[in-house]
Amino acid sequence: MGQELKQRVEYLVRDLKAYEDYDYGPKGLRHAVKTELYLWKKKQRDMTVVQVPQLYRDLWKQADRKTKSQQLEEALESDWSTFPTYSSNGKHLKIEDKHGYLLIYRLPIPTQHTETLEATAHLIPSSSAREHRRGQTSEKYWGLWRKYKMEPHMSGEYYRDLPSSQRWLDANQPYFRHMSNILRLLDPQMYVRYTSINRFLPEGLELSCRIWYACGILRNMAGKGTPHKDPSDYHCGLNVNTAWGDFTMARIVFWELKITVEVQKEEAIFFMPRILTHNAVDIQGGARNVVDAFVHENVLSWKDRQHEKATGYLRGGPKRKRRKLGLEELKARTTREPSSAGAGKALEHAQDEGDSETEREMEALYHRGALEEIREEEDED
């Protein structure tokens, strides 16, 4: 176990460089990371782990289709109250596919973060509530995105609401910092992917929510929302949200998985809203306010183009003619087996890190740059 932990620390620190921005003490970075990993394992000791039959790969493929799958149509016609519910119990909850790919993660958070959200609510300018796919709510979007322009910029609402918007973001940075550290523990490759934009941002721009680029603030949520996906978000990215207000409990329905997850105050939940149809239901005790931190895919696509212009490389490999890999060829490259589309071709954009026996490796290859086409997504809020 000690050797495994040491190897993990070396991978995170030396190879992945996931802790370059970490504030470590006098005993050094490796000691600090080792301690953090040890404490994280202790917090997960009584964690509930659920494996669902749906595969991340299939959810990802379906998310890009114009039409709903038959399975989703059937689920949407079902009564959500008949789905299995994972109640809040003060413990960590991890929901993954059968290959161990993380889809949802719920955990308790320190009380002070919820208290700060309560105390800074007055900084959020009031706006009219309206019927929305997330329910009857008013909404603000503050942070970095790339809507209607070629370059990243801060959202119009952020500028209109200054200085209150920046004061609120500054006051809640401890929450975003805490959740960013949690994401680094859950998926360090995603953490590195999100932070990789920093060196390309124009002067004066920065990530608003630690490693997430922006956040949506939904106030006075009541009733139930409409089942939906968030098509502008990074397709393999985890958002995180937490809530404050008079409510005592709410449930989030994840329709493809046919489950509901209970959330309470002083809890946060990570999930993939681009590929999971979801909505909040059964809000109890009063109005619920939510902050949802996210990354838009088109901002990351912009970063990848800047990286290519600056280095001549496409996220980990030399610049080559772009083409979209077929599923068969990508599987063949992953497993080093021949395929009808590309027998004998070497992996172009990922370093050789050994054979893979699961489809999850395809996602790891995406993080390392093996997919040779980065698709530009249209914003569809």
**CATH at residue 171:** 3.60.130.30
The last residue of one of the domains, among 298, 332, 361, is: 298
Number of structural domains the chain divides into: 3
pTM for the full predicted model: 0.81
Say what the pLDDT of residue 68 is.
76
Nearest to 236 by CA among 37, 38, 59: 59
Say what the pLDDT of residue 75 is.
84
Say what the pLDDT of residue 334 is.
46
Say what the pLDDT of residue 73 is.
83
Domain assignment present for 305: no
* Residues 26/55, Cβ–Cβ less than 8 Å: no
Q: Backbone dihedral region of 161: left (phi > 0), alpha (psi from -120 to 50 degrees) or beta?
A: alpha
* Residues 214/144, Cβ–Cβ less than 8 Å: yes
Neighbours of 15 (CB within 10 A): 10
Same structural domain, 353 and 212:
no
Same structural domain, 293 and 163:
yes
Question: In angstroms, rounded to a whole number, what is the distance separating the alpha carbons of residues 368 and 326?
Answer: 18
Neighbours of 9 (CB within 10 A): 20
Domain assignment present for 311: no
Domain assignment present for 252: yes
Same structural domain, 124 and 160:
yes
Question: In angstroms, rounded to a whole number, what is the distance separating the alpha carbons of residues 150 and 27?
Answer: 45
Say what the pLDDT of residue 98 is.
93
Contacts 24+ apart (CB under 8 A), 166-172: 167/120, 167/123, 168/120, 168/123, 168/124, 168/142, 169/142, 169/143, 169/208, 169/209, 171/116, 171/119, 171/120, 171/123, 172/113, 172/116, 172/117, 172/120, 172/291
Q: What are phi and psi of 350, to 5 degrees?
A: -135, 145
Same structural domain, 112 and 195:
yes
Helix (H), strand (E) at residue 281:
strand 278-284
Q: What is the 3-state secondary structure (H, E, C) of 200-261?
A: HCCCCCCCCECCECEEEEEEEEECCCCCECCCCECCCCCEEEEEEECCCEEEEEECCCCEEE
Same structural domain, 99 and 164:
yes
Enumerate residue ranges in the chain where pLDDT < 50. 316-323, 333-381
Angle at 236 between CA 232 and CA 238, to 5 degrees: 85
Domain assignment present for 136: yes
The last residue of one of the domains, among 271, 298, 325, is: 298
Say what the pLDDT of residue 342 is.
37
Domain assignment present for 312: no
Tell me the per-residue pLDDT of 349-362, one tens digit each, with 9 for 90 and over: 333 333 333 344 44
Q: What are phi and psi of 186, to 5 degrees?
A: -75, -45
Question: In angstroms, rounded to a whole number, what is the distance separating the alpha carbons of residues 32 and 142?
Answer: 33
Same structural domain, 207 and 330:
no
Say what the pLDDT of residue 149 is.
86
Say what the pLDDT of residue 379 is.
41
Domain assignment present for 227: yes
Say what the pLDDT of residue 233 is.
95
Tell me the per-residue pLDDT of 168-184, one tens digit each, with 9 for 90 and over: 999 999 999 999 999 99
Angle at 263 between CA 125 and CA 287, to 5 degrees: 35
**Residue 229 is part of which domain span?**
53-298
Same structural domain, 39 and 61:
no
Same structural domain, 105 and 30:
no
Say what the pLDDT of residue 315 is.
66
Q: What are phi and psi of 104, to 5 degrees?
A: -145, 140
Domain assignment present for 306: no
Say what the pLDDT of residue 378 is.
40
Say what the pLDDT of residue 339 is.
40
Domain assignment present for 304: no
Same structural domain, 322 and 214:
no
- Structure tokens, 358: 């699961």
Same structural domain, 174 and 247:
yes
Same structural domain, 290 and 332:
no
Say what the pLDDT of residue 136 is.
54
Same structural domain, 241 and 336:
no
